[in-house]
Structure 1
């Protein structure tokens, strides 16, 4: 079984190769290590190799790890899972980023509950790019209104878009949905100077995501190994 450093180096090579194929600067594509179900010790080990950005899907699990690893001062925590209104306070108080905003109520609560001593919460709007009932996110048609609302919230900073494409999507489906998301991202950048992040792509589709402008790929199993149950 490959070691942690071998897995991390392999993911870095995949990202670099994908960027090179489409003539993009590798440094403009960040790796977000998705650490759900993994112990804080595994996160600390990857941190020691140089990884800084980590994503958590579950609020309480993420908060527990953030507290345990509080001594790692430059670690960057992203909340990437569905967020209910009764959990917004924990995200606002502990995370640096929230990638899964999909309605005004959540945005408002995050801004109101962000501690005054912390910088604005960096946020992404989640797009349900394949219109799946099982997934969170908004339709592209709803994007302008939600972006405009987030822009009015004093303790949030809009940074871009996130999407979770359909699992096992065919190349034809990807060729339809990925360009739509890329176009929406470019249009959003034109309206909001702070927008610089397109969180798209996981282990199985990172090459196509990077070819369509992704600036952040979310990698779990390929870095940490199989999830704990």
Structure 2
């Protein structure tokens, strides 16, 4: 069985190869290790191997890991799951990135609840690129208004977009979905220069990271290829 360090090396090589093939700058794509449901010891092993950015979906689980790993002050915590309004205070206090902001109410609460002594909370707006009823994210047509309002909120740094395309698509359809997200970001950068750098595209997972990188991903969210398959729920 491969170790987490071995897996990280393999994924890093995949990212580097895909970045080179896409004609992009080396180091322009970041690896976010998706650590939801994984025990703190797995994250500690990954940190030992050089991985510092971790993505969590569940607030209470993440807070418990943060407490257990409090000696590892270099960890960069990203929240990537659906956001419940009653969890925004904990998210605003504990994380440095939130990839899944999909409505103004949540953005306002994160802004209001970000402690003054902390650096701005980096946020991405999640877009439901394939209009899936079961998936979070705002509709593409709603992005301009959301970005207009969100970019004015204190305590937040609006960085870009996040998307989880429908995995049931064909390879060509999936690639087109990634391309649509990238084009949306280009349009927003053009239309809202005052909104900030808008330099982030959070998209791509273990099975499709190469396609996502080819279309401009700057963060790829990788769980299985780093930590292995999750145990089946009983």
User: Structures share a fold, TM > 0.5?
Assistant: yes
| Corresponding residue number in structure 1 for 2:224 | 221
| Corresponding residue number in structure 2 for 1:169 | 169
Write the distance in 2 (CA, Å) between the matches of 1:178 and 1:207.
Answer: 11
Shift of 1:180: 1.1
Shift of 1:225: 1.0
Q: What RMSD in Å do the two structures reach over aligned CA positions?
A: 1.2
**8 Å contact kept, 1:120–1:157:** yes
Shift of 1:24: 1.1
The CA deviation string for residues 141-191 of structure 1, in whole angstroms up to 9 with x for no partner, is: 111111111111101110110000112320231243221111111223332
| Shift >6 Å, 4+ stretches | none
| Corresponding residue number in structure 2 for 1:158 | 158
| TM-score (normalised: structure 1) | 0.96
| Corresponding residue number in structure 2 for 1:63 | 63
**8 Å contact kept, 1:99–1:125:** yes
The CA deviation string for residues 5-62 of structure 1, in whole angstroms up to 9 with x for no partner, is: 1111100011111111111123000000000111111101101111111000111111
Q: Secondary structure of 1:25's match?
A: coil
Write the distance in 2 (CA, Å) between the matches of 1:75 and 1:164.
Answer: 24
How many residue pairs get aligned? The number is: 229
| Corresponding residue number in structure 2 for 1:40 | 40
When residues 175 and 226 of structure 1 are mapped into structure 2, their CA distance, relative to the original with a 3 A threshold, is closer
| Corresponding residue number in structure 2 for 1:98 | 98
**8 Å contact kept, 2:102–2:126:** yes
When residues 168 and 26 of structure 1 are mapped into structure 2, their CA distance, relative to the original with a 3 A threshold, is farther
Q: Secondary structure of 1:28's match?
A: coil
| TM-score (normalised: structure 2) | 0.94
**8 Å contact kept, 2:167–2:174:** no
Q: Secondary structure of 2:212's match?
A: helix
Within the candidate set 189, 193, 218, 2:196 is matched to 193
The CA deviation string for residues 75-127 of structure 1, in whole angstroms up to 9 with x for no partner, is: 10000000010111110111111110000100001111111111111100000
Write the distance in 1 (CA, Å) between the matches of 2:73 and 2:189.
Answer: 30
Where do 5+ consecutive residues of structure 1 fail to align? none
Q: Secondary structure of 2:27's match?
A: helix
**8 Å contact kept, 1:18–1:211:** yes
**8 Å contact kept, 2:151–2:196:** no
| Corresponding residue number in structure 2 for 1:125 | 125
The CA deviation string for residues 191-214 of structure 1, in whole angstroms up to 9 with x for no partner, is: 233211100100111111000000
**8 Å contact kept, 2:175–2:212:** no
Write the distance in 1 (CA, Å) between the matches of 2:175 and 2:5.
Answer: 33
